[in-house]
């Protein structure tokens, strides 16, 4: 487990105690929170992909320069705002997963340790960062760039 999986404000002992107390007193645990946040993260990511696809398709079918500029401008704004919600959910998901990895008896931690000793299943890079940072960033930047290129006359609407 690398440094990225270390907690910064709570010790593993405090976390174990907190998890035990949650399990005894509440219906909501760190595992429930992970399931909720991961589902929210995936829903927001899928929603952003649908929005992005719609704006790209609309821009491709724009028949006037004004429509092209408007579609790309609104698309860049909405996609960027949606990307911010994804980044926020991504941050919460990573914190939650870090906490669960620190609970040595939790299934996520056990599976992670087992996965790390298998040579063909080692994680080369974290996929969550691709979904939570890079793809939203690329979608936002491409629409922003498209908007500026259209405004400055590099992209033209097809009549």
The pLDDT tens digits for 17-60 are 877 777 778 777 888 888 999 999 999 999 999 999 999 999 99
Mean pLDDT of the chain: 87
**CA pseudo-torsion sign 23, 25, 27, 30:** negative
In percent, how much of the chain has pLDDT > 90?
A: 52
Which tops the pLDDT comparison, 95 or 46?
46
pLDDT reading at 5 higher than 70: no
Q: Kindly indicate the confidence band of residue 82, based on its pLDDT and cuts at 50, 70 and 90.
A: very high
Least reliable range by pLDDT among 57-61, 87-91, 151-155: 151-155
Angle at 28 (CA atoms; ends 24, 29), nearest 5 degrees: 75
- pLDDT at position 9 is 79
- pLDDT at position 27 is 76
Q: Which residues contact 81 (CB under 8 A, 6 or more apart)?
A: none
- pLDDT at position 124 is 65
Q: What is the C-alpha separation between 156 and 66, in angstroms, rounded? A: 10
Q: What is the C-alpha separation between 20 and 25, in angstroms, rounded? A: 9
- pLDDT at position 4 is 56
From first CA to last CA, the distance across the chain in angstroms is: 56
Average pLDDT over residues 125-133: 86
Highest averaged pLDDT of the listed ranges 10-14, 45-49, 108-112, 116-120:
45-49
Q: What is the C-alpha separation between 26 and 141, in angstroms, rounded? A: 43
pLDDT reading at 129 higher than 50: yes
Which pair of structure tokens corresponds to residue 154?
């590099």
- pLDDT at position 1 is 47
């Amino acid at each position: 487990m690398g440094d990225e999986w270390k907690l910064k404000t709570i010790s593993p002992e405090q976390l174990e105690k907190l998890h035990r107390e949650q399990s005894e007193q509440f219906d909501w645990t760190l595992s429930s929170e992970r399931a909720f946040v991961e589902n929210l993260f995936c829903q927001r990511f899928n929603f952003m992909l649908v929005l992005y696809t719609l704006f790209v398709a609309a821009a491709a079918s724009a028949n006037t320069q004004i429509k092209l500029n408007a579609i790309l401008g609104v698309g860049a704004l909405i996609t960027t705002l949606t990307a911010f919600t994804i980044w926020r959910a991504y941050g919460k998901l990573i914190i939650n997963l870090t906490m669960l990895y620190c609970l040595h008896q939790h299934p996520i931690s056990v599976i992670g340790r087992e996965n790390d000793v298998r040579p063909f299943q080692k994680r080369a890079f974290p996929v969550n960062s691709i979904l939570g940072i890079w793809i939203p960033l690329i979608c936002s930047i491409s629409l922003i760039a498209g908007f500026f290129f259209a405004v400055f006359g590099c992209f033209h609407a097809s009549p």
